[in-house]
C-alpha cells in the first residue's frame, strides 16, 4: 500500500476550511472512494505527491499539459515575464501576439477575446450569440459540460454527472427554461427541437468531441449536419473546444473534422496550464462585443501577462512542432490498442473510445455514443479500477465520466508501465 499519510492529513484539515476539502468537485475522489492525493510537484509525465509517491499522469491538468508538466520553454517564458509585473490592468503586447497566433492557427477565428477560464468563455459566448441574434434560447446536449455557468448546468456532464447532479440547485427556473437540451449524436432530435422553437434559438453549443461523459466521438456527418442546420436557421454554432482546441490538431476538432463553427470557446490549453479562457469567431459576430459593440463582457485580469506568456510559449511550440501531434496520437493509440488486447486476454467485453490523444475505457459492453449509453457504465467497478491503478502509480481521472489525456513527455516505457498496470488492475477487480 502507498503511504498517503500526508495527503490524508491535508485532506482532514482542508475539509475544515474548504467545502468538501477541494476547490473543484471531481478532485474529491467521491466517485471512486478514498481520499484525494495532494500533489507537490510534477515534471514531464510524472507527478509526485506530498508523501513522495510518483504517478504517471494521464489527466495532465484535465488537458492543458500537452507538452508535459513544467515544460522548460513555458516556465522560462513565465520567469521572464514575472519581473515586468504580475498584472497591468492595461493592454499589453503579449495579448496582441497570442491573439494573432490563435487567429492564424484556427481558421474560423477572425477575432478573439481573452477571459480567465473555460466557464467565462462559454458564458460570454452565449451572451454574445443572444445579443447578436436577438434571440434567447440556447440548445446544449445531454452529457456535454461547458463549465459551471447557470445556463449550462442542465443535463451537464463532468463533475455534475459524476456527483449525480446534472441539474444543479441554484439555477433559476427562468434560466433553465432558456436552455433546451437534446441527446448528443442525434441530428433528428435537435432538428425537431429547433423546429419547435422556430426563430427563438440563438445558439447551439457542443463539445465537437465530448470529453465530459467520457470520450464520445461525433457520428459521421453529425457536426456537418449541425453546421447546416445552424446556417439554415440563422443560429450561431458554438464549438466548445476547451478540451479539443490545439489538442486534436493545431486547428482543433474543426480541422480534424473539417467543420467550422461561428464561435469557438477555448480554455486551459491556451494558458499552458495558467488560468485562461477565450472566445472567438467570425469578425461580424465578435464586433458585437464591447467596447466595439453593445454586448458587455469584461475582466480585470483578462489577458494577464503571466498567463499570456505561458500560453504564447505553448502555442508557438505547437505551431512549429507538428511532431508533437504525431507523438501524442501514437502514444494514445498504443494505450488504446494495448487496453483492447488486455480486455481480450482477460475475456472482458468493455468499450473503449479514442480520438487523437484523448481516450476512455468504459465499464460497459454497450457502444458509448451519448449520455444514456454512458450511463450504462458500472461506476462502482470503475472506482475499483481507479484505485488499483493508483496503487500501481498510474493517475487516472477520478471519474468514469472524464477523458484521459496524453502528453508529449509520455515515453514507450511509460506506455508499457500503464498497460502492465491496467492488465493487473483489471485482473484484480474481477
Ligand X SMILES: N[C@H](C=O)CCC(=O)O
Query: Which residues contribute to the site for ligand X (CB under 6 A)?
Result: 24, 26, 62, 145, 158-159, 212, 243, 402
Cα Rg of the chain (Å, integer): 21
Nearer to ligand X, 49 or 95 (CB): 49
Count of residues touching ligand PLP (by CB under 6 A):
16
Q: Which of 195, 196, 203 is nearest to 132 (CA)?
A: 203
162 binds, among ligand X, ligand PLP, none (CB under 5 to 8 A by kind): none
CB of 24 to ligand X, least distance (A): 3
CA angle 396, 400, 405 (to 5 degrees): 45
CB of 392 to ligand PLP, least distance (A): 27
Rounded CA separation 53/37 (Å): 10
Nearer to ligand X, 92 or 271 (CB): 271
Out of 178, 240, 262, 370, the active site residue is 240
> Rounded to the nearest 5°, which phi and psi values hold at 403?
-110, 150
Active site residue 268: yes
CB of 351 to ligand X, least distance (A): 19
CB of 118 to ligand PLP, least distance (A): 2
CA angle 301, 307, 309 (to 5 degrees): 130
Out of 145, 350, 385, 395, the active site residue is 145
- 209 in contact with ligand PLP (CB under 6 A): no
Active site residue 55: no
Nearer to ligand X, 178 or 370 (CB): 370
Q: Read off the DSSP letter of residue 271.
A: G
147 binds, among ligand X, ligand PLP, none (CB under 5 to 8 A by kind): ligand PLP
Active site residue 4: no
Among positions 118, 208, 251, 303, the unique one binding ligand PLP when judged by CB under 6 A: 118
Contact set for ligand PLP, span 132-171 (CB under 6 A): 145-147
DSSP letters, 388-399, are HHHHTTEE--SS
Query: Which residue has the CB atom at the shortest distance from ligand PLP?
Result: 118
Q: Which of 124, 68, 114 is nearest to 87 (CA)?
A: 114
How many angstroms separate the most distant Cα atoms in the chain? Answer: 61
For residues 239 and 265, is the Cβ–Cβ distance under 8 A?
A: yes
Nearer to ligand X, 15 or 197 (CB): 15
Out of 4, 268, 350, 370, the active site residue is 268
For residues 103 and 279, is the Cβ–Cβ distance under 8 A?
A: no
Q: Read off the DSSP letter of residue 69.
A: B
CB of 31 to ligand X, least distance (A): 12
CB of 87 to ligand PLP, least distance (A): 19
Rounded CA separation 61/269 (Å): 10
Edge to edge, the sheet with strand 236-240 lists 111-115, 277-281, 263-266, 236-240, 201-206, 137-141, 179-182
CB of 285 to ligand PLP, least distance (A): 19
- The three-state secondary structure class of 64 is coil
Query: Which residue has the CB atom at the shortest distance from ligand X?
Result: 24
Contact set for ligand PLP, span 256-295 (CB under 6 A): 267-268, 277
117 binds, among ligand PLP, ligand X, none (CB under 5 to 8 A by kind): ligand PLP
- 307 in contact with ligand PLP (CB under 6 A): no
CB of 249 to ligand PLP, least distance (A): 16
Q: Which residues contact 304 (CB under 8 A, 6 or more apart)?
A: 86, 87, 116, 274, 276
122 binds, among ligand X, ligand PLP, none (CB under 5 to 8 A by kind): ligand PLP
Q: Which of 216, 299, 308, 200 is nearest to 253 (CA)?
A: 216
Q: Cell match 490563435: residue?
A: 102
Alpha carbon separation from 2 to 8, 57, 243, 334, 390 (Å, rounded): 12, 16, 31, 28, 9
- 362 in contact with ligand PLP (CB under 6 A): no
152 binds, among ligand X, ligand PLP, none (CB under 5 to 8 A by kind): none
Q: Which helix (H) or strand (E) holds 405?
A: strand 404-405
Nearer to ligand PLP, 123 or 426 (CB): 123
Q: Which residues bind ligand PLP (CB under 6 A)?
A: 117-119, 122, 145-147, 207, 211-212, 240, 242-243, 267-268, 277
Active site amino acids: 145, 240, 268
Amino acid at each position: 500500500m502507498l503511504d498517503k499519510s500526508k495527503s490524508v492529513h491535508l485532506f482532514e484539515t482542508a475539509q475544515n476550511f474548504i467545502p468538501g476539502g477541494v476547490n473543484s468537485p471531481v478532485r474529491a475522489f467521491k466517485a471512486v472512494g478514498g481520499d484525494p492525493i495532494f500533489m507537490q510537484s510534477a515534471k514531464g509525465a510524472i507527478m509526485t505527491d506530498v508523501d513522495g509517491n510518483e504517478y504517471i499522469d494521464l489527466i495532465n491538468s484535465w488537458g492543458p499539459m500537452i507538452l508535459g508538466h513544467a515544460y522548460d520553454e513555458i516556465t522560462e517564458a513565465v520567469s521572464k515575464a514575472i519581473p515586468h509585473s504580475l498584472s497591468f490592468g492595461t493592454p499589453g503586447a503579449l495579448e496582441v501576439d497570442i491573439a494573432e497566433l490563435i487567429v492564424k492557427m484556427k481558421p474560423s477565428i477572425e477575432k478573439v477575446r481573452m477571459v480567465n477560464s473555460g466557464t467565462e468563455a462559454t458564458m460570454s459566448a452565449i451572451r454574445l450569440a443572444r445579443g447578436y441574434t436577438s434571440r434567447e434560447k440556447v440548445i446544449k446536449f445531454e452529457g456535454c459540460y461547458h463549465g459551471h455557468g447557470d445556463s449550462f448546468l442542465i443535463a451537464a456532464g463532468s463533475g455534475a454527472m459524476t456527483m449525480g447532479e446534472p441539474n444543479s440547485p441554484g439555477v433559476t427556473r427562468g434560466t433553465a427554461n432558456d436552455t433546451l437540451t437534446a441527446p448528443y449524436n442525434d441530428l433528428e432530435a435537435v432538428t425537431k427541437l429547433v423546429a419547435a422553437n422556430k426563430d427563438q434559438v440563438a445558439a447551439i453549443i457542443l463539445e465537437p468531441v465530448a470529453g465530459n461523459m467520457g470520450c464520445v466521438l461525433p457520428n459521421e456527418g453529425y457536426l456537418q449536419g449541425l453546421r447546416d442546420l445552424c446556417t439554415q436557421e440563422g443560429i450561431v454554432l458554438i464549438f466548445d473546444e476547451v478540451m479539443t482546441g490545439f489538442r486534436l490538431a493545431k486547428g482543433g476538432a474543426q480541422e480534424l473534422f473539417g467543420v467550422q463553427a461561428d464561435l469557438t470557446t477555448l480554455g486551459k490549453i491556451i494558458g499552458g496550464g495558467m488560468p485562461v479562457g477565450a472566445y472567438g469567431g467570425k469578425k461580424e459576430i465578435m464586433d458585437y462585443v464591447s467596447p466595439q459593440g453593445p454586448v458587455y463582457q469584461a475582466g480585470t485580469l483578462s489577458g494577464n501577462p503571466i498567463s499570456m506568456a505561458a500560453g504564447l510559449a505553448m502555442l508557438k511550440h505547437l505551431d512549429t512542432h507538428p511532431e508533437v501531434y504525431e507523438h501524442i496520437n501514437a502514444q494514445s493509440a498504443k494505450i488504446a490498442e494495448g487496453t483492447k488486447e488486455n480486455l481480450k486476454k482477460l475475456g472482458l467485453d468493455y468499450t473503449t473510445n479514442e480520438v487523437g490523444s484523448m481516450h476512455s475505457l468504459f465499464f460497459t459492453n454497450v457502444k458509448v455514443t451519448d449520455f444514456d449509453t454512458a450511463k450504462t457504465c458500472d461506476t462502482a467497478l470503475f472506482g475499483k479500477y481507479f484505485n488499483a491503478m493508483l496503487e500501481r502509480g498510474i493517475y487516472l481521472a477520478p471519474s468514469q465520466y472524464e477523458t484521459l489525456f496524453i502528453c508529449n513527455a509520455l515515453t514507450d516505457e511509460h506506455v508499457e508501465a500503464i498497460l502492465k498496470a491496467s492488465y493487473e488492475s483489471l485482473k484484480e477487480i474481477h
